[in-house]
Each structure stands twice: as C-alpha cells, then as structure tokens.
C-alpha cells in the first residue's frame, strides 16, 4: 500500500502575469471538496510576510470585477500589501456555463440566496480555507489581515469578519439589515468587533438607507465609520475607494 499525500492546500494554476509591478496569479484551493477559484496579487518579487487584504466581489460579477482589481492594485502598489479575491457562490469560475457576469448570474445568486441557508456558511468556510492557504505562502505569511467587500461582498463577508479573529479591520457596506439572509446578518453584526468603515449610498435602490444605517448601528466595532454618498447602489465615487484603502492600510501594521 502507498500513502496518498494530501493535495496541496493552494496551487497556482492558469494566469500568472506581472503588470506595473503587480504580480497577479490565479489559484485553486480545495475546501471540503469544493474547488475554490481565486486570484492573488503581490508586489513583483515579494519576499517575506506582509499585510493581506481579502476582497469580496459584488453579485453578478467575479473576482475580476473592475473595482476588485482597482483595490487590489492600489493595495499592492502603494503599500506593498498582498490582496486576494475568490469567486462567490455561482459566480466566476465556479460556474460551468462560462457566463462571467450579468443578469443571468444575478438571478442565479438571488436563487441561491433565497434557497440555500448554507450559502453563507459555505462561503465563510471557503474564505477561511483560503486564508489558511495564503498564510502558508512565504510572500504572504502570517501578517495582519483585513477584509474589503461591498454589497454581496458584505452579505457573505460580514459573517466572515464576525467569525474570523485573524481579520482585524474591515470595509463593508452597500447592504442593510434586509434580504433572505437578514437573520444571519443581524445576528452576526454584533460579533463584528474590529474597526469597520461602512459605505452607504444615500439613494440605494436595492437596500434602503434606513436598513443600512440600522446594520451599521448594530456592528459592535470599537471604531466604526459610516461613509455615505449621494447616489444609487453602484454610484460609489472613485475617491471613496481611495479612502477605504487608506482606512485599511493605516490599521494593518507591517509585521516584524
């Protein structure tokens, strides 16, 4: 008999590029039998451990969403951090039909959101397995970790932040105490005990402002900041992204 070695927890597969000093690599990771597709961004030629930011994308999009790439590149280029994103449930490379984004993906998410009470638990488990795997990489290591996720990135990311003590600062928002997983969100909000910057769009057509303010109010963070901008759900001004990045960077000290 031979001993079958355990499969490696995180393996690089597919895209491996360097652009403007940012090394971008696709990875796959096995979590409870699921193959989790992700992207890792690190400074070109990075050595040694560094702060890491996990980025959750929005519904009907993927780990390659425009603003995910913007946030990741700025974190790497300005601060030398690592950043990583994984596809959400029924999104991106988790799909077998090759449909990358759009209404069809959104409907699939809405279906999963309504039907599957385990969707949140599954995504939290995938994120935690991803964090385990990333911390074993010498160019990431066991440094301080932040989370950045809006809209679906908060629906699935707030429970992650609540559950994961290694995450010590978070950017959340574009979401309220509402939706099919309202009970889960409301139950987890007081368990978010790290500093949080929370984004609200004043005229959000998906999640009413009042529900967003209610969710913000129920976070039990020792330091929390609400940043609300005029406009619809998707109309977050570009300079707000910069402020969220600065908020994270100032709270993720470089590890010794």
Structure tokens at 199: 């984004």
Is the Cα torsion angle 125, 177, 113, 201 positive or negative in sign? negative
Query: Stretches 3-11, 130-138, 182-190, 225-233: which one binds a copy of itself (CB under 8 A)?
Result: 225-233
* Percent of residues in the chain assigned helix, strand, coil, to nearest 5: 35, 25, 40
Contacts of 43 (CB under 8 A, 6+ apart): 21, 22, 23, 76, 77, 80
Residues 56, 156: Cα–Cα separation, whole Å = 8
* Binding piece for a copy of itself, criterion CB under 8 A, among 19-27, 63-71, 141-149, 218-226: 218-226
> Binder to a copy of itself among 34, 73, 225, 233 (CB under 8 A)?
225
Nearer residue to a copy of itself within complex by CB, 112 or 172: 172
Rule CB under 8 A: say whether 234 interacts with a copy of itself.
no
Stretch that binds a copy of itself, among 34-42, 132-140, 170-178, 246-254 (CB under 8 A): 246-254
Per-residue DSSP letters for 114-127?
Answer: HH-TTHHHHHHHHH
∠ Cα 171 116 219 (to 5°): 30
Q: Between 1 and 230, whose beta carbon lies closer to a copy of itself? A: 230
Closer residue to a copy of itself in complex, CB, 12/202: 202
Contact between 240 and a copy of itself by CB under 8 A: the answer reads yes
Which residue is it, tokens 């780990």? 63
Q: Is 202 in the site for a copy of itself (CB under 8 A)?
A: yes
Choice from 169, 221, 248, 252 touching a copy of itself (CB under 8 A): 221
Q: Please select the residue that binds a copy of itself; options are 116, 121, 139, 243, rule is CB under 8 A.
A: 243
Alpha helices in the chain, H assignment, sequence order:
66-79, 103-115, 119-135, 152-155, 157-163, 182-188, 209-218, 238-250
Maximum C-alpha span of the chain:
66
Counting contacts by CB under 8 A, is residue 250 touching a copy of itself?
yes
Residue 181 Cβ vs a copy of itself, minimum distance, rounded to whole Å? 25
226 makes contact with a copy of itself (CB under 8 A): yes
* Residues engaged in binding a copy of itself (CB under 8 A): 200, 202, 221-230, 237, 239-240, 242-243, 246-247, 250
């Amino acid at each position: 008999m031979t001993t079958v070695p355990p499969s490696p927890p995180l393996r690089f597969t597919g895209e491996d590029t360097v652009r403007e000093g940012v090394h971008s690599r696709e990875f796959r990771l096995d979590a409870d039998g699921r193959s989790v597709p992700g992207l890792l961004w690190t400074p070109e030629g990075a050595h040694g451990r560094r702060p890491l930011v996990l980025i959750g994308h929005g519904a009907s999009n993927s780990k390659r969403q425009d603003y995910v790439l913007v946030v990741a590149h700025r974190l790497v280029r300005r601060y030398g951090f690592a950043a990583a994103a994984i596809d959400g449930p029924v999104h991106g490379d988790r799909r077998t039909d090759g449909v990358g984004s759009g209404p069809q993906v959104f409907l699939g998410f809405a279906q999963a959101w309504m039907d599957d009470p385990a969707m949140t638990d599954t995504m939290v488990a995938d994120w935690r397995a991803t964090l385990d795997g990333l911390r074993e990489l010498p160019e990431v290591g066991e440094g301080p970790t932040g989370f950045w996720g809006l809209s679906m990135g908060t629906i699935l990311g707030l429970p992650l932040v609540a559950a994961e003590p290694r995450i010590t600062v978070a950017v959340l928002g574009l979401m309220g105490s509402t939706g099919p997983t309202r009970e889960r969100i409301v139950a987890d909000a007081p368990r978010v005990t790290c500093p949080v910057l929370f984004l609200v769009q004043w005229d959000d057509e998906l999640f009413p402002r009042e529900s967003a303010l209610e969710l913000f109010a129920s976070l039990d963070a020792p330091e929390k900041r609400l940043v609300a901008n005029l406009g619809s759900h998707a109309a977050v001004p570009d300079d707000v992204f910069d402020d969220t990045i600065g908020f994270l960077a100032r709270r993720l000290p470089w590890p010794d």
